Every structure is written in structure tokens, then in C-alpha cells.
Structure 1
């Protein structure tokens, strides 16, 4: 949203939702954890705790300490490091069609994986699906009753955030994407969608909606996880594909530009040179890789 020259960003306030209606959702989580002998907690989109850890869990203190210095995004990979079995599910706000965080369930297990752990994992997977539906259903009623605006935080974007793309070094992007890695499920899904649709004219809002995140949060998360802004990554992948087409097919430059969703041949040529140092026709005839 623009007000004059000022960019106003909006973000859903998950903390406020969890605390609303006399902490109805919090009491639901507490009760379910105690009744089912599991631990339950909520993470925001940035993979930090938005609740306490309800229920008994030996690693509770350790996870709380980690959360203060780093995020818990790798918990599904490192679960046996903390002697626990774990499952999670994304939480979405129906009225926004956006992901706002995830509900997580965990249970103490033996340090060595075995058949018993598999049964526990399957149980947790069923429980987390139930909790996701319960939380989303109750959240919908709360939001409809109070109004969506009660849960939206609005604030001006910092100047450096609005010009992130201008400071990127496109020349290094092609090298960076070769070694890039992330364990964030939303970014993995976004990257897969981008890579499957390089022929389309993709936009930030279109891709962010595919992973149920707000434009603003998706942009920040993408940069944090990949080291590249969305636009630089998208162009780098298109140019990477163009390089293959130039070397391995007989398609002319105009055809390749169209195949990769560029609106103008001149813009494709300009972008190609920014990322590779070569004009497309020059790259085809030179040993440009």
C-alpha cells in the first residue's frame, strides 16, 4: 500500500489472535497437550515461538533457549538430537488466504529411531492435522466476530527495504544459485513453482500467494533464506535457462526471450548481459561459460 511516497506494509498479528477471546486458543492447546500427553507450540512465519511449549517435553528448556538466539526451522531435521518425535502443519487465515505460522506437536522418544518411533510419528501427524483444523476454525469465528482489521499491523517500510533490488550484484547471482540451499518448506515450494514456470511472467504477489504468505513477509523470508531478492533469483534462473537454450538449441534470441516470458527483446538482452557479461548472440558464439 502506498500513501504518497511512503510504503505502508501490513502483517497479520498472530500473537494477538492467540491471546484474543480470553486466550481461548491458548487454553485449547494447553488442554489438548495435557490430555494427549504431547507437547504443543505455535511458530510464526519466521519460525520463532508465538506461544509457550505446552505439555511435558524434556527438551523444553533447551528449545526455549535456542528460540531466543535462532529460529526453530530445522527442528524437523534435528528432532533426534533432542530425543523427540515431531510433526507440524501450516496455519492459514482463510479471510486472507495467507499462511501465518504453523502448529507443532512433539513427544519424548528413545534416542535411537525404531518401530515405536514410527508409530508415535504417525500419531503426531494425525493430531497436528486435527489441531490445525481446530485452530483455523476457531480463528475464523474470532476474526469474523472482531473484524480482520483488529489483527493487522501496519507500519512504514524502511528505506533500505524498498530499494533492496537496486543493491544486488546480478553478476554473482548465477554462481550463488548453484550452491544455494534452504530447509524452509515455504521457500522450497516457491522455488519449485518458479522453476516449473520460467516461461510465465511471474510476480512477487503471484508466487507469495502460492505459498500462502503476504508479499512483504515472503520477500523478506526469500532474501533471508536464499541470499537473493525474489526478482534477482527469478531473473537469474531465467538467464540460466537461456544460457542452456542458446548453447544446446537452434532457437533464435527472440524465440528464447518469448519462451522465458520477457516482454521485450531489448529487456531480455539487457538482463542477459547484466548477469553474464555477454550479449546473448555473443554468448552463443563465444566460450561464455
Structure 2
């Protein structure tokens, strides 16, 4: 497994990007920083920090993504922009801009948020442009972290109980934008043979990070969720139409009817024909 190392990019070429961020923050009287997809801080806080101790408190937070939702609780104006590595086609983190409220007294907060949005988008383009040059110069391999496949990761995949996956779908809830987008993409393409790579690329995340995030948010692995949704739709088609089992299998992107039947029984406890013939069974 590999993951892009945004911290290595920031520190490359004697910290070229870090020095640019620091200068920009000081000149524009804002505070800027960079986090990865997990919300971990990958740079310092750049700019003229207030002396009220709030940033010491923030820097101790395990997940700085919380500031996105709760910046007003910290009395901060906030904006961010996602950072994407074009050669990978992945979002690798965010550049964030904030302004303590005590600096903007008497000013329109809507205008401050708009200006911070402009700053964050400019810094996004700056980091991505300089990063592209550094990656071309040094090679993408110098900015990748290689993770060994851990036993826990394998166990996570084995822990999914196929027989309760359909029940899990009924109670699924997530507020994560990437996972919501992925689920919508899956639902729109149940007739295709989708892969983890295809869906993770659609939401601009690495397959490794996406699979961990998907399991955390849905409590199901990607493969179990995908098959459960296909079987859920198959149940509806079998009950509501006269399509043959072979046609249902093809409609849902299964390459072999025998595999469709095996999967259907694994998730429901019934063969497709038994399920269709049992009138008392509910969808």
C-alpha cells in the first residue's frame, strides 16, 4: 500500500513551499496551514499568531478537520481549499486560512470569509504548481510512503458479516462528502463492474485511504457494500418485474449467473428463484 507524503512535498528543496506559505501569510496578515486527508497538521501555523493561546490549544487537536465545522466556537473566520496531485489524480489534503475574530472587529464577516476563500484558492494553486515542478524534478517515488499490508487490515476485511450487510444498509448514515459522493456514484452505476480504484479515483482519493475511510463511515468494506447494494436492487427487480434471473444478473453487472446466484444466497439466505417464489418474503 502507498500513500502520498504531503509533508515531504512541503519540505522539499529546502522547504520552498513552506517559505512561500510563510511569506504569503505574513504579507497578507492571515494565518495559513496545511493538513492531510486525516486532518493531521502537516505544517506549522504561518502568520502573526494571536497571543491568547488559542493556537496552542488547536495544535494539540488530533483532527484539525473539526475546525471546518466548529471554527466559530474558536472565534475564527475560516476557509480552505483541497490540494490535488495531478499525476496521481488524488486529493492529498487541504490548505487552510483563518483569521481571529478580534482582528476583524467592525468588518463584514461575510466579506472576511470571501477574502479568506480567495487566499486559500490562491495558495492551492501555488502549492499545486510548485509541487508539480518538484515532483517532476525528483520523481513521484520520493513523495510516497509505502505501508506494509498489516494483519489488522486483513482481519478488517474478514470481519464483515455478509448475512447482516443488507440490514446495515438500512441504517447507513454518513456526513462525509467523499463517501456520500462515492455512494451516489455506486448507486448510479450498479449495472457496471465497479472496482475500488474506479470509485476512489472518482472522489480523488487513494484506494488505500478511501477503503479505510469507507469502512470507517459505513461499517462495511467497499466490496461488501457494493455487493449488498447490487443484491438489494436484485431483490426489488425479482419481486417487481418478470425479468429472468439471467437478465437480472446481467442488469447488475455480474459476469456469470452462477456467481450472481451464489452471491444472492450468501447475502439473503435464498437462491434468486426461491426468493421470487416466496410471497411472504419482504424486501
TM over 0.5: yes
The reply on whether 1:54 has 2:49 as its aligned counterpart is no
Q: Are the counterparts in 2 of residues 74 and 183 from structure 1 also a CA contact under 8 Å?
A: no
Choose from 205, 219, 231 the match for 1:213.
205
CA change 1:247–1:92 in 2 (3 A) is same
Task: Give, in angstroms, the shift of residue 94 of structure 1.
Answer: 1.8
Find the counterpart in structure 2 of residue 3 from structure 1. Answer: none
The whole-number CA distance in structure 2 between the counterparts of 1:161 and 1:256 is 33
The whole-number CA distance in structure 2 between the counterparts of 1:77 and 1:243 is 39
Task: Provide structure 1 residue ranges, at least 5 long, that are not aligned to the other structure.
Answer: 1-8
CA change 1:117–1:178 in 2 (3 A) is farther
Secondary structure of 2:32 counterpart: strand
The reply on whether 1:11 has 2:16 as its aligned counterpart is no
Moved more, 229-238 or 83-92: 83-92
Q: Are the counterparts in 2 of residues 278 and 288 from structure 1 also a CA contact under 8 Å?
A: no
CA change 1:269–1:74 in 2 (3 A) is farther
Moved more, 17-26 or 275-284: 275-284
Q: Are the counterparts in 2 of residues 43 and 51 from structure 1 also a CA contact under 8 Å?
A: yes
Aligned residues: 275
Q: Are the counterparts in 2 of residues 98 and 212 from structure 1 also a CA contact under 8 Å?
A: yes
Q: How does 1:228-243 map to 2 (within 5 A)?
A: 228-243=220-235
Find the counterpart in structure 2 of residue 287 from structure 1. Answer: 280
Q: Are the counterparts in 2 of residues 45 and 102 from structure 1 also a CA contact under 8 Å?
A: yes
Find the counterpart in structure 1 of residue 268 from structure 2. Answer: 276
Task: Provide structure 2 residue ranges, at least 5 long, that are not aligned to the other structure.
Answer: none
The reply on whether 1:65 has 2:57 as its aligned counterpart is no
Q: Are the counterparts in 2 of residues 200 and 260 from structure 1 also a CA contact under 8 Å?
A: yes
CA change 1:171–1:74 in 2 (3 A) is farther
Per-residue Cα deviation, 1:67-91 (whole angstroms, up to 9, x for no partner):
2xxx233432223222223222221
The whole-number CA distance in structure 2 between the counterparts of 1:74 and 1:173 is 30
Task: Give, in angstroms, the shift of residue 238 of structure 1.
Answer: 1.2
The reply on whether 1:27 has 2:19 as its aligned counterpart is yes
Per-residue Cα deviation, 1:136-193 (whole angstroms, up to 9, x for no partner):
0000111111222211222321133245433310122222222222333322222221
TM-score w.r.t. length of structure 1: 0.86
Secondary structure of 1:90 counterpart: strand
CA RMSD, 1 decimal: 2.2
Secondary structure of 2:41 counterpart: coil
The whole-number CA distance in structure 2 between the counterparts of 1:260 and 1:141 is 43
Moved more, 270-279 or 193-202: 270-279
Q: Are the counterparts in 2 of residues 92 and 100 from structure 1 also a CA contact under 8 Å?
A: yes
